[in-house]
Structure 1
Amino acid sequence: MLDADGGLAEQSDWSAKVAAFVPWSLNELVRYSAALKPLRAA
C-alpha cells in the first residue's frame, strides 16, 4: 500500500486509513517509550 518513499501506492479507503494510522501509532510508541524509560533504569 505504501511505496518506498512512504507515499500511497494504492488509492483505496483501506490505504488511506493505513496511511493515517501508521504515523499516529509510531508517535504513540515513542510517547510510551519515553514514559517508561525511567522504569527501565530502576
Structure 2
Amino acid sequence: MPKLGRNDLCWCGSGKKYKRCHLDSDMRKRSRVLDSRCTTRS
C-alpha cells in the first residue's frame, strides 16, 4: 500500500480524507506491530 498523506483520500474508498477516516486505526495497528517487535522473550 503506498504511503498516504493525511489530506489524501482514504484508501477504503469512502471519499473522506485519510485523517478523518482510517488514520487513527492504522496508527494503532502500526503501534501494536512495533511494540511486539520491541518486546523480548526469554
| Shorter-normalised TM range | 0.3 to 0.5
TM-score normalised by length of structure 1: 0.47
Query: Whose radius of gyration is greater, 1 or 2?
Result: 1
Decide which structure has greater helix share.
Answer: 1
